[in-house]
Structure 1
């Protein structure tokens, strides 16, 4: 960690900035691998201001001009919530949709099922395109791509006149069977350009060329919905940074865990809906290298939410079935499960007299009551402060100050008195309830997907994650917890360890047998050629360009696919593909169909532009035993304990302390329960060994 008294860092350096719901995190790594972390409050009304404020804070810290700081940067990566918030807040563009005649209502019919069969009352989210702006167009391709009826461009022209009259800002095109042949969609896009003055046109075959009429249409509509808001924001931020001295273009984190330039993402901004959380994949790679263990579960808890991801054998699973705010998207994404449980999660008592926590959060402003920004609702952070786990005073790198009296007052009036409890017992109830939510979130991505969490190391991250990590891990049956020293800027760290990535897919409906090998190999090579062309335009070729193959498979007669990753560098072998499928199928479902017919449904290529790996500087080994800065009463599950409190800077590789203990770092606070043991590893991070039988107290 670069201290306030050190000299200007060694050029060149990398910068990663992740915008969260409460804080904007910036990580800067210089040529010597030294790290500096900066936190500033997010600016929800204009997230780009949070980015620039973080840059200004860093420049001030080093006594540099902003222009000098940016000029020395050779990699600037940004994780943004702009696309996500545009959807959640319903502030996207006014969209017009061109659809095949007879399919005008498929967007509103959705899948025609209730995903929760016991919930008949919760309404679906509003359809993003009202019916009058969903315009049918004559013309038809059959499932083999053969033209049954030519496209009627006159219908497109009529729709464009309506779009102009109705103030449409963005046009989406989603035609039946376009995944097999995009010619009608491209012809319609040309007609839109000729008859409509707007600048935003999205074709489903370019955005999500997959089977599934509803999913493909929903995805292209979402792309059209967010494009004018997101692309404008990114281009303006890139322009401002370049104008202030940044010599390289801004890179953006995508939902697939990779990064891409602003110019590339401008064509598919829907791929940014998980931009921030997906950056955690890069951070998990750093942890795996430092720990020597590539079976990890990350639990990143910020101010608003908790994002959980699982790495097995060094790989984080990806999916193209994503849901955000009730809208289904067919885009490549790392598998992340998100729940509304963060430091700013609001707790209270409902009308039935029951304690609740979440999903609503206090946000950056007013934030938790203890911030002193006018918030009156008690939050998880307020409860942590009442229970002694957090200390009054400067917090999150000095960006806010915690006021214990305000925290107690909020919990007293909103929880303790209505329930007839003491303030401390009320705060303890909030923590217990939130940790139960966290436990379910981790089980959702592990146990429910066929993984035994006892084989994994839990990696709690974010500013709030390490406060909950040991309890959640113990209840899972895990034996250890690994807390990165920079856990409070986990995703921002991950941005600097993420490669450039572009995903390509081709529908391929064939039986998996020996006869298909040649056609499948040709399909893979065609996708690789497209990926190579895109990577070359980004400056990656030769050794810096890699290609990962995967395949979607299912047993004959089944509806859902199982995706398998194929060995890199090998020609396609149907026998190997069958073996991989059966192994994954048995892991997920506990059985296989010996000799069963397997259907291929899609070929996939991930084009990877390999960036130089991040190599943080190693911390110096300990030369003397650590001493706590203070001892104070802290609540744990079994009651109150006098707890040793250490400054993170005082703990170095080789140190070990027994719980109960608290470690305060610049961007996070870690705890060890009574009976746990914290060791500082060679990378300077905190490995917590959990006590035997510590799942319940």
Structure 2
């Protein structure tokens, strides 16, 4: 049997989805190993082999592909433990990393402190050279300055070098000359040139992104080299792919050369999975939420396309690479509850992580977390958590919540736990508003795809806070991002700045730039074993009204590229600007300015297929395990609720809330306001009882489902 494995390394758990060519899938979870994430990865592979009663060396021979999302680079930036980096930049601009855009992030905070640059000032070496905006040489490169910088870097034990000169996107010669000297004198240093890594305008964005790439490059290179060696030792001969922030995957070598593209790689797989799980039910739009042990990620998908941004940040540092527009907040099962100076209950962003973990794990944790509150409220079974592999200690959770939350606030145990549950739900609902309401979308019009190990416990209350009537909980919800990785295509983004008024467009130059990017992209994808017929190129333009600051990205077709029509480009720009910013200057005749040409090249990969189940029945009693007391948040009371075995539920089973559905890796809490239908793909569709007729009819219209479900 042939297998593919998706692997998502999180802050608390490392998730695995194992799929076979027969359409079968299995979920595995192991505790993450922050000191060396590859240890947790190998532990998971060993667990898969053990489950089949075969040696790891025999199991790995049947694995054709591993798709891996890593937090190695993210953690390096968050903890400031990246490589010691030196920067070469144009004389007079060495302080750009601190000056940023000259905009104060918190305008009314008198105690505001600027973010500390990743490269200290004495390692930012000014180089005499200057180009104008067209790339014409004003001041030639002083190679003596570069050699002096090399001497400094050698004395300081520099591991990585970033080169970013003013206007080098228009002419790369100066950066290339400096790079040649660096390679000769510092051959082992990781090197990033802004002219090839991000050839676009906006100097701060470019220099910050270039520095980030060099800062995390040696860390990722060391990790992937170590991982590849471990996989080689056990005989892995399949394909290893690395998840990147734009929702696509790349080869390990490309990842090592462009390390910054992995800075938000883990969460990026969530929207990819959300598209697939909602599409099989006939939806084109959705909001995905993924609540793990440490963080909560929210993303909006419209017309099967997730929002992409080039104005991202990580730890307040600008990252101007294309990435999915995901909002991440510190809200997970391990989020710590605490009382602030004003006597208000807070949840997170601090997390107990995997070490020491929630108090109820009995691994040494002393601070109460979201998981501890869920246990007190009856949502978790202390003997069945993680299938019984992690027995939970109720009395430890009780003691921690009483001492740290209940007593300081003058509450009893249940009131304190319920307060923790409410606060973290409100925090997560606010995260969903960031990706929907603030971007002009009504969340009530989108199905909510709830995932993550902790997500289904909180899904109903997040949806209730936002008045969302429909929730989809995928079969593989607990390892949502790992599933998304197996559904991802290879993707490469290219950008080239070309500034001109649209009515002055130099058509041959315009076509030449796109043609060169397309040739480079095709060559790269072919080197990654993507056949030519599986390659797709998506062309787009960054445009804005003259004298305005923010650009709007619009997609053009290959036909538009062959037969360039500037009037047609303007026609697709105006309504998109109106949608994003609420106005258009078309009637005023305001000229349009072209800024960047962008190319997204996609190499289609083979996807796991969804195995459909045969219809069973409406009655879910065959899956009933027992009943237990659980807290009903809208009524503020405990009630006896049925508990169902999620692994025994079948297509057609209908569960009326309140109820609990337990699986080895997650628990779903259904409040009294919702019902659940099990669909033919093994997922749960949860919907408001007041919308039952409408939603059940729609669900059944996707196939020829039994009429008995409508009763």
Q: TM-score range, shorter-chain basis?
A: over 0.9
CA distance in structure 2 between the partners assigned to 1:583 and 1:483 by the alignment: 35
1:683 aligns with 2:668: no
* Whole-angstrom distance in 2 between the partners of 1:416 and 1:524: 62
Name 2:706's counterpart in structure 1. none
Q: Which residue of 2 aligns with 1:644?
A: 642
**309-318 or 246-255: which moved more?**
246-255
Q: How far off is 1:675 after superposition?
A: 2.6
The answer to whether structure 1 residue 78 and structure 2 residue 68 are counterparts is: yes
Query: Separation in 2 of the partners of 1:631 and 1:580?
Result: 57
**Separation of aligned partners in 2, 1:625 and 1:177:** 68
**Counterpart in 1 of 2:183?**
193
RMSD between superposed Cα atoms in Å? 1.7
The answer on 1:577 being equivalent to 2:530 is no
Quote the residue 2:582 is aligned against.
590
CA distance in 2: counterparts of 1:282 and 1:341, whole angstroms? 21
CA distance in 2, matches of 1:470, 1:261: 39
Residue 113 (structure 2) aligned to one of 110, 123, 129: 123
Change (3 A) 1:558 1:192: same
Contact 1:76 1:250 in 2 (8 A): yes
Q: Contact 1:387 / 1:635 at 8 angstroms: preserved in 2?
A: yes
- Following superposition, the deviation at residue 350 of structure 1 comes to 2.1
Q: Is the 8 A contact 1:277 1:491 kept in 2?
A: yes
- Summarize deviations over 1:534-565 as a string: whole Å, max 9, x none: 11111123211111112211111111111123
Question: What whole-Å deviation, never above 9, does each CA across 1:108-133 have from its counterpart, x for those lacking one?
Answer: 21111112212232322322111111
Aligned counterpart in structure 2 of residue 631 of structure 1, from 627, 632, 641: 627
Matches within 5 A, 1:419-438: 419-438=409-428
- Partner of residue 402, structure 1: 392
Cα distance between partner residues in 1 of 2:556 and 2:292: 35
Q: Deviations over 1:592-626 (max 9, x none)?
A: 11233221111111111110122032223214721
Q: Which structure 2 residues correspond to residues 150-229 of structure 1 after superposition, within 5 A?
A: 150-229=140-219
Q: Evaluate the alpha carbon distance shift between residue 668 and residue 574 of structure 1 in structure 2; reply closer, same or farther with a 3 A threshold.
A: farther
For 2:44 and 2:299, the matched residues in 1 are separated by 27
**Superposed displacement of residue 692, structure 1:** 3.9
Give SS of 2:280's match.
helix
Contact 1:553 1:600 in 2 (8 A): yes
Counterpart in the other structure of 2:613: 619
Point out the more displaced range, 471-480 or 573-582.
573-582
Q: Given that residues 553 and 561 in structure 1 are in contact (C-alpha distance below 8 angstroms), is that contact kept between their aligned partners in structure 2?
A: yes
Contact preservation (8 Å) 1:143, 1:177: yes
Select 1:41's aligned residue among 12, 31, 34: 31
Distance 1:647 1:68 in 2: 33
Aligned residue in 2 for 1:414? 404
What aligned pairs does 1:241-260 form with structure 2 within 5 A after superposition?
A: 241-260=231-250
1:655 Cα deviation after fit:
1.1
Q: Displacement, 1:220?
A: 1.0
Report if the CA contact (8 A) 1:210-1:216 is conserved: yes
Q: 2:533 aligns with which of 543, 549, 553?
A: 543
Are positions 1:16 and 2:12 aligned together?
Answer: no
Name the counterpart of 2:602.
Answer: 608
Aligned to 2:356: 366
The whole-number CA distance in structure 1 between the counterparts of 2:342 and 2:464 is 32
Tell me, what secondary structure is at the counterpart of 2:594? Answer: strand
Alignment of 1:254-293 (within 5 A): 254-293=244-283
Matches of 2:691 and 2:281 in 1, distance apart? Answer: 24
**Comparing 46-55 and 636-645, the one that deviates more:** 636-645
Out of 309, 312, 324, which is 1:334 matched to? 324
- The 8 Å contact of residues 28 and 44 in structure 2, kept in 1 or not, is answered as yes
- From 74, 90, 95, the equivalent of 1:105 is 95
- Name the CA distance, whole Å, in 2 between partners of 1:41 and 1:135: 43
Quote the offset at 1:330 in angstroms: 1.2
Corresponding position of 2:672: 674
Name the CA distance, whole Å, in 1 between partners of 2:555 and 2:690: 37
Moved more, 569-578 or 617-626: 569-578
Q: Is the contact between residue 526 and residue 532 of structure 2 (CA under 8 Å) also seen in structure 1?
A: no
CA distance in 1, matches of 2:445, 2:565: 31
Are residues 514 and 99 of structure 1, via their aligned partners in 2, closer, same or farther at CA, if it must alter by over 3 Å? Answer: closer
- Note closer, same or farther for the CA distance 1:442–1:230 as it changes in structure 2 (3 Å cut): same
Aligned 8 A contact 1:282 1:496 in 2: no
1:190-218 C-alpha deviation (Å, 9 max, x unpaired): 01122335331111112222211111111
Distance apart, 1:469 and its partner CA: 1.4
Instruction: Identify which range, 529-538 or 400-409, moves more after superposition.
Output: 400-409
* Residue 516 (structure 1) shift: 5.0
Match of 1:237 among 207, 227, 245: 227
Scaled by the length of structure 1, what TM-score is found? 0.95
Q: Following the alignment from structure 1 to structure 2, what is the Cα–Cα distance between the partners of residues 564 and 387?
A: 49
State the Cα deviation string for residues 35-77 of structure 1 (Å, max 9, x = none).
Answer: 0110000000111101101101111111121112211111111
CA distance in 1, matches of 2:19, 2:71: 23
1:393 touches 1:403 (CA, 8 Å); kept in 2? Answer: no
1:250 Cα deviation (Å)?
Answer: 1.8
Determine whether 1:142 maps to 2:136: no
553-562 vs 622-631, greater mean Cα deviation: 622-631
Residue deviations 1:147-205, cap 9 Å, x none? 11211111111111011111211111110001112111111000112233533111111
How far apart in 1 are the matches of 2:557 and 2:270? 24
Indicate the SS of the match to 1:581: helix
1:62 and 1:440, CA in 2 relative to 1: closer, same or farther beyond 3 A? Answer: same
| Distance across 1 between alignment mates of 2:543 and 2:466 | 31
| Map of 1:456 onto structure 2 | 446
- Inter-partner Cα distance in structure 2 for 1:539 and 1:618: 31
- Identify if the C-alpha distance between structure 1 residues 20 and 240 changes in structure 2 by more than 3 Å, giving closer, same or farther: same
Report the more deviating stretch, 622-631 or 52-61: 622-631
The number of residues matched between the two structures is: 684
**1:524 and 2:514 aligned:** yes
Residue equivalent to 1:6: none
The 1:629/1:449 distance shift into structure 2, 3 A limit, reads same
Normalising by structure 2, we get a TM-score of 0.94
Give the alignment partner of residue 662 of structure 1, picking from 660, 663, 667.
Answer: 660
CA distance in structure 2 between the aligned counterparts of 1:240 and 1:370, rounded to whole angstroms: 34
Once residues 623 and 568 of structure 1 are traced to their aligned partners in structure 2, the CA distance between those partners, rounded to angstroms, is 50
Quickly say closer, same or farther: Cα 1:573–1:465, change in 2 above 3 A.
farther
Superposed displacement of residue 525, structure 1? 2.2
The more displaced of 372-381 and 210-219 is: 210-219
8 A Cα contact 1:35 1:616, kept in partner: no
Report if aligned partners of 2:106, 2:112 keep a CA contact under 8 Å in 1: no
Shift of 1:465: 1.0
